[in-house]
Structure 1
């Protein structure tokens, strides 16, 4: 940037700080906002490259001849650092002072047709008369491609015809051609797909879920083995009009110029191709019929249904689980592998609970090698009818099972679908307690009721599965705690269901309604309901009503055609709102718990009827659970709630899919809150990482199609509460802990029993990060040196346990206490038992097995990564380190409490990484950098320590392994296409990975990757989402050994690995780049 007197305009910049920039004039009163990038920020090389390019281009232009320009480039190339394995082979060569561009490498003199746009350039194509023609360019791109991928909403015969010659040519050359498309809107011509498959050899995959997939993308990728790949992303479908003269915009991208976009394209396409959302189409007679039916069903014009003479029995088509259901099935199996055979599955209404249970039953039948006797229990016959159909679809049997209801009795009793009312009567004892192998109880939050409880306690099946959307009942009973030992085997998160398109996306608006709640009493976290009722029906009712109606008119397309539920504070409030809505011309009604079943059914029927004028039902708690009207497209939240459970239940009333329903609008009316009301609690529903942060409120990471907005006043209130909760100051935390410990001691008959950290955080609704994620220090009585906050130090600070203060007189104990958080991720019972044995016995190194010795160093490096006491220059021995750890009994008890809690809630299944070799690592377990280093024997080579291990490639010769350490999200602060798509999961058993930037295929490291199997080297993949979480460095998941499949490129090599054990579905959801 050259110096100039021109004043820089106000606005956004992304310039690096330089002398020339700082010499520029800026407006009076303005100042630069700086951001210091982290030293290991992956974006720094890209930013520096961009900066240098802006300086280099004008410098080259100022030189007189091409020879001078080449000389300058080569002089700069000589200054670049070279990898020890590599020679500097990148210098430019010139011929008679000319710059030579190498255009093609061929076996003959014949020239391949080239696109008119240079391969190393980008362009915008608009089909105008002065622009290049997209159809012609694609024809030319096809002639030189080594592989072609097409993602396209609609495929038309006219588009296929316009490319027919080139499509024949790529078939004859054996060029792979993959196409992903959809039946959305019924716009595709089946004949076009048939020709692409039968005549041109294309592989085609189709999404038949046109109502949820809604694939709008149109994009081509022309892969070239030379690295000169190109692509087109834009608006043109495969039709003649779109390719030639339509008002279409398409952007041409190029690997040399936009490598990040090409990688993103490749990764997303590969993820789609591997996913179960798209089905391979081979043009068989049956598939043609299925496709015709699907296109006719989706056709908005109705033309494709004419002349359709057949219908397909969908009950005989395979049911494939959604990604979240794959995870749930895995977690259920993991629970059983740990000896749990009464399991609870939690999933919101509309997310496929019944499909999940049917798939789980099918898996159990396959596992036992026979058809297991099944009992499915629900409280309504309609639920049983639907469940029978679902199980029939999954088991590929059209008439599956028998009913046991008031009017029906089963004959064969192999698969019985029973109402709880009938089963809890005389029918119960007609079955032996162990007659059924598998019992599934739907809506089992009713289990406390006498009839449900009777059935639950009578039967003794091999496997019992409870299904519910709401484990926390309104009477305060949590059925997981009462009936399932506090264990939830699996659950579906709201985000998973939205990303899998099982629910409609939502638009949430938090709106300040002008009411003043600051003087209303808050008791046990709730407002006084009588005072709220007066406020909402008398004091400020009219003004609030005007705001509600105005917001409806602004944010809902047509309030007279909406189907809405309004959640009120009381019966009187519900009546008032219905009356006022009717007065302003919005037809409304109200329902309360005392209404008759007939009235409820009639009012709900009217709301569900698209032709009926009723727009809104106001209620108190009637629709919180168990009652669904799928057509509801608007929610009015008219009462304050801090309950996350209640908030999600109410939100769930509107998320069900329905015809013509594309989005749920949620209007949450928020007053000026009492300082004691936890307004922020319910917004944990929008927190991806579990703990609510300001970022979750200001710019939440939401599934596609969703929107979240708080107006300025509401956002300020919420953020204030978030800040208060996250920074419960040190004194408040100490006082809270002391008060809790005093209460527990007063109420205990055994003073030797001490509450654990888990008891404490459960009592106050805290999380481990709120104890261990603090950088602040605290002082203890009689101890001069500040100590880190842990449960042990909090107990010591209470002055109730003098024995816990004594160890802190030793500086080593202070240092040890600081590192407790480094072990709070340990979750698998194998490692927990190994650690506890080392800590609770006096075993010495000479008596240990290799596995025990490595476990010991895993533990010690976690506390002392450099194997040195604070201030010491000498490394300690293994026996010295263990002896020091064993002295601190308070810390050991604290860790054991955390570990047992983790194990009790763990849903993963770990297996040995290597059998019988003394390597203690297990696949799918989480390890810190220090643990994986020691587990693979890093300390056994000249007593190395893990201090220098970073992301990348780490060899461990003592165990003949090489570890690949991957952080999936490279930049914590900014979205960066250049780094975002370097490493990602293609499928659960395939992973795309970039080598280090200097690695070439010919280098020793590149050769090792390609030939590791024949050389006997094991490659082990470790992955994590972020570099850090609230407890410090995020641990890696051990994904196990991988095998080389293929690679592309050089410096870096883009390598595809095959995983020997598929990654868990939960990690795949994180590691994939397509949701």
Structure 2
């Protein structure tokens, strides 16, 4: 710490609290802001080691004799617990001259050159005359590497030539060499790639999406079996200039000094390698043609395209789903597995709806073993032409399907692409209702129209798929409710589409425009339009306009070159804004629904023309859905909305990719809101999981390239609303419940007639986490106590349910009420059915099957992890536990309503983990620790109850099973490379996992991991994102059985497992290191 006159300067510090720190003088009026770390923060060992190192180094420097320095270190090592690797590892000195031996140990059969930078050191390399040369260092690193990985935007012949001798040598030594690269800017030399593959034995994988790949990293990893791996991360591509004398910066990292970064590098590279985004290049003629074409297309100089006729042969490139599309395909398949064959898929324009539907159709054909008869319906021929090309690419058939339009009639009718206008006429009766196996209706939000409705009701296909970006329209029609039983089979989140680079990144600015809306009436979540119109077109409107123009000039590069949409509250407001923009010299127009088709077409054509002077169209609802102008690069949000759907639709108008557009600028002008207006709701669009927190606003984590900013006034309003929403005060919740009970007039004592917690949550647009995981105070006649907040306790707190006084006078009921949240995650129909039967029948243990007994203990351990009543020393029996629950019907109904809601929202398929063995666990279902232990352990006499087990590796002897329990995010407070990359998904079918710190390959546990199949043991992997969620302890997803692939290291062992069942796409997105 740097002190001035003995006083610490103001600023940020990151130190563990120590006596010297506390005793250090600080400026007058300043104070320390402290944060307490708990045992849940797995980076505590690293923090303590860093602190000890800062104290040890000065102490060692004060000792002149190397032997005395070594003696001090060895005495400290001797103090460590028995059995640790450090305690058994004393330093040695040269007996002749007492010189400590560092770094120079070499265990090879020949002389190997060492890098000039010690293997246990880090460095910044800049290629200056006084610095080491990167090219020379890489040459030396290659000599001692046991595996080499290179991540590089482009590869040049000059770079390959500068390393040719060393690359030839690693091929002769049989050293694996993997390269990931791209066609970015067309900069790669194809000859360099061919030479790396043919002459130097490199495995090369290439991204051919040169305009759609964000890989700009340049990095080398030199893996060594000795544990002394090193890497370089920086700016140098594989070219002679970049490696030798270019103005490049590269950082050298090292396993001994930066183990977390090395692990992160390894994990990220492996995830890229396995992702499918990069195609293997083997230097065949087809590979060469594909690479040449992609490089020519991406070449910004135009030199590579001279004399080259390039059209990529789609049949050479397999169309693979993006991660979000893989998830959508899984969810669609699961919907069908659950008996739903009329399904709606929701995805924004530009996110690959057509590709998804083609991939889905291909899977259906593969399952059927034949090409199914297909009908694809859209409202424009241009959409059909594009759809035919897409289906042809996916099906590897260039001339796929036939058109049915006003001028075209199909001949074979195997795959028909029809306009709704033609199909809904006489052509409809040319087909029997069940003629087509699969019908796909694009833009099916138009289904309400008579022509669409007629077609929908006429056909009876095996599978119907509706595609739309807007299931909820401004006219109030919700097609999901009307035509799909309220069920959306799958949807793409805005976040996923941005992360997969399907949409252009955005920069969003929430700006206080100074308009006071606090007294404007709010009904049904909307302001009074007439009152808003007056505010925005009269009186103070000129002041607001000045703010809009000022912000536009500050945040948009050139307003006269922008292509913008402005969303207004009314026609008059749109006319006003267009007039004012024109007055200040920004060419603008307004469009509304009553404009003629010709006028609308002309104005839109002008906006789409980059050379036309028109910059902005102001509108009301016209552009919310259904109209696509890809070159829109600016959005002006000039009307308040709390609707997530409307906000997302408006945002989507500008997110479509366009050749000249790199980012969408969104200016949202926000006034001082009425307290009833839920301004924060729309910002759920920017939350990764759709659940908005204060963190999402104060420190947003967004997809690459995106930016989110609220000015202070707006941020304060939003955060206040978020806090009110996330943690409404107990008094507010009690009042809401009271109002709801009185409104529904359902305060009767008839249990089954009462409203459920889900009825209440849906009524107020709330989630279970708004209630569960908290406490409330009960003040009733004869009762004053703090109890867990549940639907039942909230009803009791209203005073409208006098019948609930008795349960809360009972200690066991209070205990059960407290643990309702521990069962709120149950979602799969098999477990729900089993739990409900156990709770609603009087079946005794003696009449239960082994599976039922396990289910029963899963349920009971969830309430009582130690199988004891509170205050009791004796464990209860299974029958005693169930009988205790069965008499508490009201509490059980609350839990059952949560389960049914979870089941309706569930998109996972959950096959049995061990079919026919009486073990009720299912792959891809979520389980609490208590449930998974009870499900695997059964009635073992010596089994410790779940409440007494804390290990992450748990053997279950009778079932020959060992469970691995993994929490992916180790530290809940801070990002820590040292702990974040220990356990992660390499691919959907491979998982990297660290054993316990004392496990060696030779130990019994290490031998079990390596030889579990020969020993007849099964390994089951359970994983969760974080230790806790909003309701308390997070449940684990059962990822199923795994098999040993390989391992590295000892204490701990770094093991790679192969999953017998690939993890769901949504879980893979969470578990992979590159998520």
The answer on 1:849 being equivalent to 2:849 is yes
- Corresponding residue for 1:807? 807
Q: Is the 8 A contact 2:181 2:205 kept in 1?
A: yes
Which residue does 2:92 correspond to in 1?
Answer: 93
Contact 1:3 1:24 in 2 (8 A): no
Which structure 2 residues correspond to residues 74-473 of structure 1 after superposition, within 5 A?
74-83=74-83, 88-96=87-95, 97-101=98-102, 103-106=104-107, 108=109, 110-309=110-309, 311-314=311-314, 317-473=317-473
Cα distance in 2 between the residues matched to 1:355 and 1:264: 33
Deviation at 1:421, TM superposition (A): 2.3
Distance 1:748 1:350 in 2: 52
Displacement after TM superposition at 1:244 (Å):
0.6
More off after superposition, 740-749 vs 261-270: 740-749
Deviation (angstroms), 1:747 = 12
SS of equivalent to 1:539: coil
Aligned pairs (5 A) from 1:13-52? 13-52=13-52
Give the equivalent residue in structure 1 for 2:54. 54
Q: How many Å apart are 1:4 and its aligned residue?
A: 10
Indicate conservation of the 8 Å contact 1:439/1:461, yes or no. yes
Moved more, 781-790 or 600-609: 781-790
- The 8 Å contact of residues 510 and 670 in structure 1, kept in 2 or not, is answered as yes
Once residues 407 and 42 of structure 1 are traced to their aligned partners in structure 2, the CA distance between those partners, rounded to angstroms, is 68
Aligned residues: 1073
Q: Deviations over 1:347-397 (max 9, x none)?
A: 111111111011111110111111111111122222122111111111111
Q: Larger deviation: 503-512 or 410-419? A: 410-419
Relative to structure 1, the CA distance from residue 691 to residue 951 in structure 2 (aligned partners, 3 Å threshold; closer, same or farther) is farther
Check conservation: 2:970, 2:979, Cα contact below 8 A: yes
1:198-251 deviations in Å (ceiling 9; x for gaps):
111111111111111132111000001101000000111111111111111100
Contact 1:951 1:967 in 2 (8 A): no
Q: Give 1:765's aligned residue.
A: 765
Aligned to 2:619: 619
Distance in 2 (alpha carbons) for counterparts of 1:230 and 1:700: 33
Alignment-derived partner of residue 712 in structure 2: 712
TM-score by length of 2: 0.97
Q: 1:369–1:464: structure 2 CA closer, same or farther, 3 Å change rule?
A: same
For residue 1044 of structure 2, give the secondary structure of its aligned residue in structure 1.
strand
The change in CA–CA distance for 1:798 and 1:457 in structure 2 (over 3 A counts) is farther
After superposition, residues 1048-1059 of structure 1 pair within 5 angstroms as: 1048-1059=1048-1059
Shift of 1:330: 0.7
User: How far apart are the structure 1 equivalents of 2:334 and 2:536?
Assistant: 50
- SS in structure 2 at match of 1:1046: strand
What corresponds to 1:898 in structure 2? 898
Q: How does 1:505-654 map to 2 (within 5 A)?
A: 505-654=505-654
User: Following TM superposition, by how much is the alpha carbon of 1:464 offset from its aligned partner in structure 2, in angstroms?
Assistant: 0.8
The residue aligned with 2:1040 is 1040
How far does residue 729 in structure 1 lie from its aligned partner after superposition?
2.1
> Following TM superposition, by how much is the alpha carbon of 1:750 offset from its aligned partner in structure 2, in angstroms?
9.9
Q: Could you tell me how far 1:800 is from its partner in structure 2? A: 5.0
**8 Å Cα contact 1:316-1:398 kept in structure 2:** no
**2: CA distance between counterparts of 1:382 and 1:351?**
18
Bigger drift between 736-745 and 383-392 goes to 736-745
How many angstroms apart in 1 are the aligned matches of 2:716 and 2:42? 33
Are residues 642 and 89 of structure 1, via their aligned partners in 2, closer, same or farther at CA, if it must alter by over 3 Å?
Answer: same
User: Could you tell me which residue of structure 2 aligns to residue 702 of structure 1?
Assistant: 702
- Residues 341 and 462 of structure 2 are in contact (CA less than 8 Å); yes or no, is this contact kept in structure 1? yes
- The alpha-carbon distance between structure 1 residues 87 and 652, as it changes in their structure 2 partners (threshold 3 A), is closer
Q: In structure 2, do the counterparts of structure 1 residues 565 and 747 end up closer, same or farther at CA, with 3 Å as the change threshold?
A: farther
Bigger mean CA offset, 303-312 vs 488-497: 303-312
Q: Secondary structure at the match of 1:963?
A: strand
3-state SS, counterpart of residue 666 of structure 1? strand
Note the alpha carbon deviations across 1:791-844, whole angstroms, 9 max, x for none.
223334455555444333321011101111111110001111111111111112
Once the two structures are superposed, the pairs formed by residues 964-983 of structure 1 within 5 Å of their partners are 964-983=964-983
- Displacement of 1:771 in angstroms is 2.1
User: What is the distance in 1 between the residues matched to 2:131 and 2:608?
Assistant: 52
Say whether residues 1:957 and 2:957 are aligned partners: yes
Contact 2:40-2:972 within 8 A present in 1 as well: no
How far did residue 637 of structure 1 move? 0.4
How many angstroms apart in 1 are the aligned matches of 2:933 and 2:499?
Answer: 36
Work out the CA distance in 2 between the residues paired with 1:790 and 1:171.
Answer: 66
Q: Unpaired segments of 5 or more residues in structure 2?
A: none
2:566–2:637 contact (8 Å) kept in structure 1: yes
2:314–2:396 contact (8 Å) kept in structure 1: no
Say whether the 8 Å CA contact 1:938–1:945 is kept in structure 2: no
Residue 25 of structure 1 deviates from its aligned partner by 1.5
> Aligned in 2, Cα 1:202/1:459: closer, same or farther, shift over 3 Å?
same
Deviates more, 1:19-28 or 1:185-194: 19-28
Q: Secondary structure at the match of 1:936?
A: helix
Determine the C-alpha separation between the residues in 1 that align with 2:629 and 2:128. Answer: 49
Matched, 1:1015 2:997: no
Partner of 2:775, secondary structure, is: coil
The alpha-carbon deviation at position 89 of structure 1 amounts to 2.5
Q: Write out per-residue CA displacement over residues 864-921 of structure 1, whole angstroms, 9 at most, x where no aligned residue.
A: 1111111212211111000000001111111211111111121000011112222111
CA distance in 1, matches of 2:777, 2:424: 59
8 A contact 2:1046–2:1056 mirrored in 1: yes
SS in 2 for 1:822: helix
Q: Is the 8 A contact 2:746 2:753 kept in 1?
A: no
Q: How far, CA to CA, are the matches of 1:1008 and 1:964 in structure 2?
A: 13
Q: Does 1:925 align with 2:925?
A: yes
Q: Deviations over 1:1011-1033 (max 9, x none)?
A: 22212221111101111111111
Is the CA contact 2:80–2:86 (under 8 Å) kept in the aligned structure 1?
no
Give the whole-Å Cα distance in 2 for the aligned partners of 1:744 and 1:876. 40
Structure 1 unaligned runs (5+)?
A: none
**1:665-691 Cα deviation digits (max 9, x unpaired):** 111011111222111111111223433
For 2:1002 and 2:980, locate their aligned partners in 1 and report how far apart those are by CA, in whole Å: 26
Q: Output the CA distance in 2 between the equivalents of 1:409 and 1:921.
A: 54
Q: CA deviation at 1:778?
A: 3.6
Deviates more, 1:174-183 or 1:20-29: 20-29
SS at match of 1:696: helix
Distance 2:430 2:723 in 1: 60
Q: Partners in 1 of 2:313 and 2:773 — Cα distance?
A: 56
Structure 1 window deviating more from structure 2 (318-327 vs 414-423): it is 414-423
Residues 939, 945 of structure 1: 8 Å contact kept: no
Residues 297-338 of structure 1, C-alpha deviation per residue, up to 9 Å, x if partnerless?
Answer: 111111111121454333663211111111111111111111
Alpha-carbon offset, residue 782 of structure 1: 4.6
Judging changes above 3 Å, is the alpha-carbon distance between structure 1 residues 218 and 752 closer, same or farther for their aligned structure 2 residues? closer
SS at match of 1:940: coil
> Partner residue of 1:63?
63
SS at match of 1:974: coil
Distance in 2, matches of 1:658 and 1:384, equals 21
Q: Which residue of the partner structure matches residue 691 of structure 1?
A: 691
Kept in 1, the 8 Å contact 2:991–2:1056? The answer is: yes
- State the shift of 1:786 in Å: 3.5
Distance 1:851 1:133 in 2: 67
Specify the SS of the correspondent of 2:388: helix
Higher mean displacement: 1047-1056 or 803-812: 803-812
Deviation at 1:702, TM superposition (A): 0.6
Q: Cα offset for 1:104?
A: 4.3
How does the TM-score come out when normalised to structure 1?
Answer: 0.97
2: CA distance, partners of 1:800 / 1:33: 45
Hey, what does 1:882 align to over in structure 2?
Answer: 882
Q: Which moved more, 1:1002-1011 or 1:554-563?
A: 1002-1011
Question: In the superposition, relative to structure 1, how do residues 876 and 938 fare at CA in structure 2: closer, same or farther (>3 Å)?
Answer: same
Q: Does structure 2 retain, via aligned residues, the 8 Å contact 1:1001–1:1050?
A: yes
